[in-house]
Structure 1
Amino acid sequence: MDKPKLLVLLGPTAVGKTKLSLELAQRFGCEIISGDSMQVYRGMDIGTAKASEAEQRLVPHHLIDIHDPAYPFSAAEFQERVKSLITDIHARGKLPFIVGGTGLYIESVCYNYQFTDVGMDEAFRQEQEAYALANGDEALHLRLRDIDPESADRLHANDRRRVIRALEVAHVSGQTFSAHLAAQKKESPYELCIIGLTMDRALLYKRIEERIDEMMNEGLIQEVQKILDAGCPKQAISMQALGYKEIVRYLDGELSLEEAVTLLKRDTRRFAKRQLSWFRHMKDIYWVDVTETANFSAHFQLINDIIVGKFVHKIEYNQQP
């Protein structure tokens, strides 16, 4: 029996996934599944760079605005929901199309990761939480770096929940989280076509900084304040996201606005670097360099040809970023 087809477009933040995804989705009859761990939250629009309402009307979108910001969304829930969506989308005669930059989430679907293998230790988790509160997220992150430097490279120090989970996996299983990921079978239940977008690092960083300036002008501060006013705890997973954690610190008086924006730009550049590092550990990616942003039509045609070749003519195509 033929495997169901699954199209994926991934890449670092600000590389230009949204515009290409909309064109590709219309060309190939796709429904888009957001592969972003924070776009699931209602009211978090500016800071997560969600597709606009007009863009979402062009193509059906899924896993956007499905939870309140206080909800603890996880990779396991993402995987479960996406597997069901893929079945439903195929049943409608459409092509499921994951678009995003959250590497673990996307990879967990592509290769059917098992999240139930490693148990939990609530006492250990609370101990790490207390350590982070007493000593700071950077100190907790150093604990992870000591035992699992690969996971430390992939996870931001601010991402306390996932840092603690990586420590917990090593504590419970005796095997690092990175080793646990590497041991997954990496066999896909789908016929995959994964497109990766890359560009010159200096240009990417410039685009990131320009996007953050645009977010500030669009009202990111007011967006964060509104979420907090609605009762979302500052410790919620959603409030640890880039653009939210920094603004919370500004609203609390810990940082000046200039300091918060500078920190956000720095951390987003580092995040993009970690995204690319994660993707380079993945297999089956057809990389497309989109540095020449004026050549959108050429990039679109190249990606079109890759998809046609993979899903129709079954040709092989690959290049490294």
Structure 2
Amino acid sequence: MTETTKPRLLVLIGPTAVGKTKMSIELAKSFGCEIISGDSMQVYRGMDIGTAKISKDEMEGIPHHLIDIHEPDYPYSVAEFQEQTGRLINDITNRGHLPFIVGGTGLYIESVCYGFRFSETGADEEFREEQFKYAEEHGAEALHRKLAEVDPESAERLHPNDLRRVVRALEIFHLTGTPHSAQLAAQKKESPYHLCLVGLTMDRQMLYNRIEERIDLMLQQGLVDEVTSLMDKGYAPGLVSMQGLGYKEIVSYLQGKYSYEEAVELLKRDTRRFAKRQLSWFRHMKDIEWVDVTDSENFSASYKKIHDIIAGKLLSNIEYNSKKTN
């Protein structure tokens, strides 16, 4: 299949709080896109504030997919995301629109862009239970250090509290003797799509300031009440969803493990570290056209740069309308 006959796919990536949402809406209006969320946490209903989920008003009529599709106790996986997104890309293309993935979950997005094959490595339930027990007894950080010894690259990309994925990476090494990161690196990095990958970046300190401002806004919007409501509904703190940024820190505050001030500071620190890991992941990906949006006051200049990149990459053989959204 040649580049011109492959389905077209637009992707906008970047760290949390860099400004993907606003940019994605303006681009979607220009290029007749339907947006597919590439965020592994926005699939969960009732988890709106802590995930900075886009509101209906903010969507401005642009169709969005893979948002609010599961309850918080559902174990969403990268393999499911890949399957659903592949189907959506076909459907959106058949409707005459441009599929547009927007998000920051590196493995999820890369798995679609390059058609990763997720082999059924198998499972060792006894080993898995041992690892969860080890984390319970010695702490998530101690388990994360075990992963760092055998698969430092995966450890760098996974937060210690992401127990399910840390345990799975350890399990893959246990079963195969090969680090999970090495298996991913060995994948054939050829896209099944005519791909346009755009990455947003900005001055690191400015990004960190934006992260802290966003967290302050989340708290004003009622993040503590949102987490309290989830716990009242019976969603356990150990769930993958409840281990997400903004949730695990507030859970710890509500359980009395930290003061409010300590929990907020921990959330800001962990989110800064998460943004750093996101950038580390994306830097390993190829084909990304990076656009520096540090001058956030000059949105139109950044938008024009990105618009021109997309037009040059994708518009040679497609027809689009600047307001095409149906």
Is TM > 0.5 for Structure 1 vs Structure 2? yes
Q: Confirm or deny that 1:130 pairs with 2:145.
A: no
Q: Deviations over 1:138-196 (max 9, x none)?
A: 00000001111111111111111111111111111111011011000011110100000
In structure 1, the partner of 2:321 is none
Q: Confirm or deny that 1:51 pairs with 2:61.
A: no
Would the aligned equivalents of 1:22 and 1:58 in 2 still touch at CA under 8 Å? no
Q: How far is the alpha carbon of 1:67 from its aligned partner?
A: 0.3
Q: Distance in 2 between matches of 1:169 and 1:232?
A: 28
Q: Confirm or deny that 1:188 pairs with 2:191.
A: yes
Q: Confirm or deny that 1:72 pairs with 2:64.
A: no
In structure 1, the partner of 2:146 is 143
Matches for 1:21-170 after TM superposition, within 5 Å = 21-170=24-173
Q: How far is the alpha carbon of 1:234 from its aligned partner?
A: 1.3
Q: Confirm or deny that 1:217 pairs with 2:220.
A: yes
User: Share of identical aligned residues, percent?
Assistant: 68
Q: Confirm or deny that 1:276 pairs with 2:289.
A: no
Would the aligned equivalents of 2:25 and 2:60 in 1 still touch at CA under 8 Å? no
Q: Confirm or deny that 1:176 pairs with 2:179.
A: yes
In structure 1, the partner of 2:22 is 19
Which letter maps to 2:295? E
SS at match of 1:72: coil
Q: How far is the alpha carbon of 1:53 from its aligned partner?
A: 1.4
Q: Deviations over 1:218-263 (max 9, x none)?
A: 0000001111111211111100000000000011011100000000
SS at match of 1:243: coil
Q: Distance in 2 between matches of 1:164 and 1:181?
A: 17
Would the aligned equivalents of 2:124 and 2:171 in 1 still touch at CA under 8 Å? yes
Q: How far is the alpha carbon of 1:117 from its aligned partner?
A: 4.4
Q: How far is the alpha carbon of 1:313 from its aligned partner?
A: 4.4
Which letter maps to 2:263? A
SS at match of 2:126: helix
Which letter maps to 2:141? E
Q: Distance in 2 between matches of 1:313 and 1:64?
A: 31
Matches for 1:198-277 after TM superposition, within 5 Å = 198-277=201-280
Q: How far is the alpha carbon of 1:116 from its aligned partner?
A: 2.1
SS at match of 2:315: helix
- Number of matched pairs: 314
SS at match of 1:153: helix
Would the aligned equivalents of 1:6 and 1:193 in 2 still touch at CA under 8 Å? yes
Q: Distance in 2 between matches of 1:5 and 1:229?
A: 44
Alpha-carbon RMSD across the aligned residues, in angstroms, is 1.0
Unaligned runs of 5+ in 2: 318-326
The two structures have a TM-score, normalised by structure 2, of: 0.95
Shifted more, 169-178 versus 6-15: the winner is: 169-178
In structure 1, the partner of 2:6 is 3
The two structures have a TM-score, normalised by structure 1, of: 0.96
Q: How far is the alpha carbon of 1:200 from its aligned partner?
A: 0.2
Q: Distance in 2 between matches of 1:263 and 1:297?
A: 35
Compare relative contact order (CA 8 Å, sep 6+) and give the higher one, 1 or 2: 2
Q: Distance in 2 between matches of 1:113 and 1:247?
A: 35
Q: How far is the alpha carbon of 1:57 from its aligned partner?
A: 4.4
Q: Deviations over 1:265-294 (max 9, x none)?
A: 000000000000000000010000000001
